[in-house]
Amino acid sequence: MLRSGLVSITFRKLSVEEIVDLAHSAGVEGIEWGGDVHVPPGDMARAREVRRLTEDAGLMVSAYGSYYRLRPDQDEDDPFEAVLATAVGLGAPVIRVWAGDQPSSEIDAAGRAGIVAQSRRIADLAAAQGIAIAYEYHSHTLTDALDSALDLLRAVDHPNVSTFWQPPNGRPPEENRAGLDAVAPYVTNIHCFHWWPTSKDRHPLADGEANWNLYLDRIAALPGDRFVSIEFVKDDAPEQFLQDAATLKRWLAQRG
């Protein structure tokens, strides 16, 4: 089943309460809470309060969108354990992490091996708490190119590690669909938006219907449940989000 959602960092300037109200008004099913503004790692009181507000509104916490970056030599001043504890307090089923902080073309074999090892370590820690790990599918990380992303996932080879997916920016939709087909066995939640042809060119989600039909047909065929969550809207406008949410819910309803 595909569920509709909102990524909280779409509206970094809004309060938690405002985001919950907006998501409820839009009729989406869940919120992915970001760790940079709304639920900082280590703030357990905040995490528990955000969980309560979300659930009291009849919504689910779809994920904890952490900004934890896996690096070959991990900085122990930024421990994953604080991120994990926060996700537990938030009631998040999955933690989104970043596979490094360099383009995949610039990371050598030793660097990749370090990120693989760190991935396995945090996956084991999270699994003990019943929480999954998923990579951000993003530029300037090891998931910025299809071959690199597949190499990483296959090298980690851990049942508790998957990846989010979003259409790589500026590439033809048929190419994105082929990439999605290849990485599909590892895909969990989806980030949904319509930027074209660059990240500066944001459009109403409805304008991307042809592209998203390609992607959602494949995603809907995957086994299990996952969220398709709106991340970023034109002009950062709440009113645009309400329109985009209606569009997304219509698309998902067409796929059962």
* C-alpha–C-alpha distance, residues 137 and 97, integer Å: 9
* Domain layout of the chain by residue ranges: 2-254
Name the architecture of domain 2-254. Answer: Alpha-Beta Barrel (3.20)
Interacting residues of 79 by C-beta distance below 8 A, sequence separation 6+:
none
Instruction: Report pLDDT for 256.
Output: 80
Instruction: Report pLDDT for 204.
Output: 98
* pLDDT by 10s per residue, the chain, length 256: 999 999 999 999 999 999 999 999 999 999 999 999 999 999 999 999 999 999 999 999 999 999 999 987 766 667 999 999 999 999 999 999 999 999 999 999 999 999 999 999 999 999 999 999 999 999 999 999 999 999 999 999 999 999 999 999 889 999 999 999 999 999 999 999 999 888 889 999 999 999 999 999 999 999 999 999 999 999 999 999 999 999 999 999 999 8
Q: For residue 245, what are the CA distances in angstroms to 92, 95, 136, 162?
A: 22, 23, 22, 25
Q: Are 20 and 31 in contact (CB under 8 A)?
A: yes
Parallel, antiparallel or unpaired: strands 2-7 and 30-34 = parallel
Instruction: Report pLDDT for 75.
Output: 64
**What pTM, to 2 d.p., does this model score?**
0.96
